[in-house]
Amino acid sequence: MRRVERHYVTAFDDFQPSGSKVGDRRIAFGIDLDGCVDMGMEKHLLAFGVATMIHYSCQPIQSMAMKAWMYVNFYSLDRGTSRFIALYKWGEIVANSKAAKALGLPVPTFKYLRGWCDVAKAFSPGALKEYIDGGDFSAITKGGGNANDARAELESVLEWSDKVNDLVDDATANMNAFPNAVKMLRDAYSRGCDCCIVSGTPEDHIVKMVENYGIDGCLEGLWGQEAGKKQHALVTMMVGPISAKEIDAAIKDKKPLLDTRAANYDALVMVGDAPKDNEEREKANLALSGQKDTPIGMHLIPVEGENDSWETLHANLDKIIAGTWSKEDERAQIDAGLANLSVEWVESPVYAFKRKS
């Protein structure tokens, strides 16, 4: 039995596989946190949503505008995207809504935020602040606009982001992990699998949550927003510490890393709840093998079916360990999860009910 104690690293460069085996195979899981291990995506209502309604003066249409926020971040194929990308996608929906147009509400178009998202190497509040403090807005104004307007918009976005963070602790104060997630992770660890949190959430929040759930002693790595991209985390798990530039070069030059580096694991599975998790997994695979679907597998946790999905993953653990988990079953599960989020925006208040006949 493996000893359960806190031993995880929080920087990619410090990662080393445990060396544990299940039988004669080395098995690992990269695991998202919010909306995957726990109900953390619910913070979009009481933290992100509330801050957005207030900061951008949407109180007159808050029911519809809140629904738009939850659509972008919770119930659509954009689920799990960066808060900054989500903000401008939300703004586009609300600005074009009948409700906002009827009242003449000045909803931002986030022209400069879009530009920053196009050139940013990291989507964190710290990265945005560094860009603003640098004072060079030429990359996002060359298509039109001026530096003063760019600074004002981005400073307002950073203020909004700080308001969100101020609300997160209260919004997640009583969040719980899905019971089957905890059961699966503890069992996988006890049997010799390596488990790492691979998340876009700030590290301090992740630390607090995994300690609350009693899984902090089952982790080899805990990587949040500050560490870097999920694809970087997954590649690091498979071949050890590596730079983002080397990963990008492997994809661009079509020189798979596993052609020259030894694999740390015989099987590595990403577990996430958002299409972005699968996209990051595919990018990691392109760097590792030149193919999108190997060597890293994917278990996509579906919204509103999370606990049952963890039970399914647990039931497949023996197959994953044995190397008999079929690509067909994996693909079908991914497709079902994506289809579940493939929904169209419909403008109506949050509280819109079907009339009784």
pLDDT at residue number 150: 96
Question: What is the Cα 123 distance to its own chain's centre?
Answer: 11
Going by their DSSP bridges, the two strands 267-272 and 296-300 should be labelled as parallel
pLDDT at residue number 4: 86
Report the C-alpha gap between 300 and 347 in whole angstroms: 28
pLDDT at residue number 143: 81
Q: Where are the domains of the chain?
A: 12-38+178-325, 40-171
pLDDT at residue number 1: 66
Report the C-alpha gap between 237 and 222 in whole angstroms: 12
Is residue 195 within a helix (H) or strand (E), and if so which, with residue range? strand 194-198
pLDDT tens digit string along 34-61? 999 999 889 999 999 999 999 999 999 9
pLDDT at residue number 354: 82
Report the C-alpha gap between 138 and 142 in whole angstroms: 6
- Spatial CA neighbour of 38 closest among 193, 197, 256: 197
Q: pTM for the full model?
A: 0.90
Query: Tens-of-pLDDT digits for all 357 residues of the chain?
Result: 678 889 999 999 999 999 999 999 999 999 999 999 999 889 999 999 999 999 999 999 999 999 999 999 999 999 989 999 999 999 999 999 999 999 999 999 999 999 999 999 888 899 999 999 999 999 999 888 899 999 999 999 999 999 999 999 899 888 899 999 999 999 999 999 999 999 988 899 999 999 999 999 999 999 998 899 999 999 999 999 999 999 999 999 999 999 999 999 999 999 999 999 999 999 999 999 999 999 999 999 999 999 999 999 999 999 999 999 999 999 999 999 999 999 999 999 888 888 898
pLDDT at residue number 136: 95
The architecture that CATH gives domain 12-38+178-325 is 3-Layer(aba) Sandwich (3.40)
Tokens of 22: 């299940």
